[in-house]
Amino acid sequence: MEGPHLVLVFSGKRKSGKDYVTELIRERLGPDTCAVLRLSGPLKEQYAQEKGLDFQRLLDASGYKEKYRADMIAWGEERRNADPGFFCRIIIQGVTQPVWIVSDARRKSDIDWFLSCYGAVTQTVRVVASEETRKARGWIYTPDIDDADSECGLDQGTSFNWVITNNGDQESLDEQLHRLMDFIHSKLDSSV
């Protein structure tokens, strides 16, 4: 079969644990089976290039990216408005693994793009954590970011195939991941 056997499109608010959870799944499936694709990757790369910033530092969970977040959001929005598939098309280039995880859908247009191209094999996954948990992970409510589309674009009007609650209880997370892993394996088995 050409193309992905399964595309999991993840979303969730900042510090909900999107990177953490998607990395766990990738570890369990292995790098030959699963690729984690980040829409923010090419966004940050091009933004850093244009603004003369440190791309590597924009990638980690430190304060550096937070300093530029508002401006990056505006920059990315311009690109997406002009072409909703702009970042989507870049991240899927040359990916050969059967399972694709898109770790950071933020807008309905991100999900719609994957549904329109890979709808038959796409599942949407929402990662949820309480405000208390997100605060403990370093989240500080920031107006114009936390109340804007980048964080709230998928709050309403989107249904998710899976919801993963990630409040730090490892046993509960493990149980939820087990269910998702069973599903992933069933899709892999049925496609061979």
Interaction mask 153-182, ligand DP6, x per CB under 6 A: ------------------------------
Q: Using CB distances below 5 to 8 A depending on partner kind, what does residue 173 bind out of ligand DP6, ligand ADP, none? A: ligand ADP
The CA-atom distances, in angstroms, between 187 and each of 3, 99, 129, 151, 183 are 14, 9, 27, 30, 6
- Select from 6, 9, 35, 43 the one that contacts ligand DP6 (CB under 6 A): 43
98 vs 119: CA distance, rounded Å: 15
Q: To the nearest whole angstrom, how small is the minimum distance from the Cβ of residue 53 to ligand DP6?
A: 12
Interaction mask 38-67, ligand ADP, x per CB under 6 A: -----------------------x------
Instruction: Note whether 15 binds ligand ADP by CB under 6 A.
Output: yes
Q: At what angle do helices 40-51 and 63-82 cross, to 10 degrees?
A: 100
| Count of helix runs (H) and strand runs (E) in the chain | 9, 5
With contact defined as beta carbons under 8 Å apart, do 154 and 105 qualify?
A: yes
The CA-atom distances, in angstroms, between 14 and each of 70, 89, 105, 176 are 13, 23, 11, 20
Binding residue numbers: 13-19, 137, 166, 176
Interacting residue ranges for ligand DP6, rule: CB under 6 A? 14, 18-19, 40, 43, 65, 69, 72-73, 76, 104, 106, 150
